[in-house]
Amino acid sequence: MATKKAPASTKKGAAAARATAPAKSAAPTAAPQITHHGMISFDAGQYSHASGTNNWSVSPIAWPDGPPGPPAVGQVLVTFAQPIKGPYTLMVSACRSLDAPMLVANYGELGPTSFVVILFNAVGDQSYTSVRNGNFSFVVIQ
């Protein structure tokens, strides 16, 4: 069985495209760096800086102004000591416990000065699916 050859003009065009492809930049690019990291523990009703770099702090998100409400639950603000310049990647991971075997951490409201973490128990039984306090870790990569 004979094979069909591509027209000569197509072959020449492909060869010309390879020959004129832009060369890769010789300038090295900086490798991403971990600028902030740590573990936050929840003990005796308080969030605290358990380990990691010393360029951030943690606090529960306060109840909105108005009538008194319940204490803050599973909603945490991590604040940087100095604003971060430029974009960053954030990774957050919850630490499971015996009473919350599937504790999950979501993050949001990324900004140059802080980010928010919401902790909740994602167990399938509806009575357990709720926002709750717990330990978690994070890493900021720039």
- Encode 5-32: b = buried (16+ Cβ within 10 Å), e = exposed: eeeeeeeeeeeeeeeeeeeeeeeeeeee
Q: Tell the residue number behind the tokens 């319940």, with chain if given.
A: 70
Which tens digits make up the pLDDT trace of 8-49?
555 555 555 555 666 666 677 778 899 999 999 998 888 999
The 10s digit of each residue's pLDDT in 110-139 is: 999 999 999 888 776 666 567 888 899 999
Q: Are 125 and 113 in contact (CB under 8 A)?
A: no
Are the beta carbons of 135 and 95 closer than 8 angstroms? yes
Query: Which amino acid, residue 130?
Result: S
